[in-house]
Amino acid sequence: MTRLSLLIVALMTFTGCVQPATALFKLDEPFWVRVEHSVQIERLSVRFVRVIEDSRCPIDVVCVWEGNAQVELELQTQSASPAQMTLNSMLAPTELEYAGYRVRYLDLEPRPCTRCRLNPKEYRLKLIVSRSAPP
């Protein structure tokens, strides 16, 4: 029975029926998180919910302005209420504070392209989390 259970779990994992565990990261180290996935840094859970806006300059065009990407995050700790927050690539806020942590936007991939059709599920966000300065 044990072998059969392990086989079923393995098959479910490879076919996508089991959601992957939350990835663990360290403070002050940049990391990537895929859209609709979560990461854990100490007691802070960060979920990359979605890209709200992506008006960044396409990679195959020369632009006067870089444009902006805006992403939605869901932040949570056991001691604080969950919060839906947004970060931007160029406009304020490019970083935010929540429950003693500072979360800063670093990058978003893939970049827009005029000849490409971007699947929203392909986005991945680069962040860095550090401790907030005490008041």
- What's the whole-number average pLDDT of the chain? 87
pLDDT band at 134 (very low <50, low <70, confident <90, very high): confident
Helix, strand, coil % in the chain, rounded to nearest 5: 10, 45, 45
pLDDT band at 135 (very low <50, low <70, confident <90, very high): low
Is the CATH number of domain 21-131 2.60.98? Answer: yes
Which candidate, 93, 122, 126, 94, places its Cα nearest to that of 110? 122
| Domain coordinates in residue numbering, the chain | 21-131
pLDDT of the residue at 14: 44
Query: Do the beta carbons of residue 119 and residue 125 sit within 8 Å?
Result: no
Report d(CA 104, CA 117) in Å as an integer: 28
- Dmax over CA atoms of the chain, in Å, equals 64
pLDDT digits (tens, 9 = 90+) for 44-98: 999 999 999 999 999 999 999 999 999 999 999 999 999 999 999 999 999 999 9
Give the Cα-Cα-Cα angle 107, 109, 113 (nearest 5 degrees).
Answer: 125
pLDDT of the residue at 127: 98
Give the global pTM: 0.81
pLDDT of the residue at 19: 42
pLDDT of the residue at 41: 96
Query: Do the beta carbons of residue 31 and residue 91 sit within 8 Å?
Result: no
Compute CA 35 distance to the chain's CA centroid, rounded to the nearest angstrom: 6
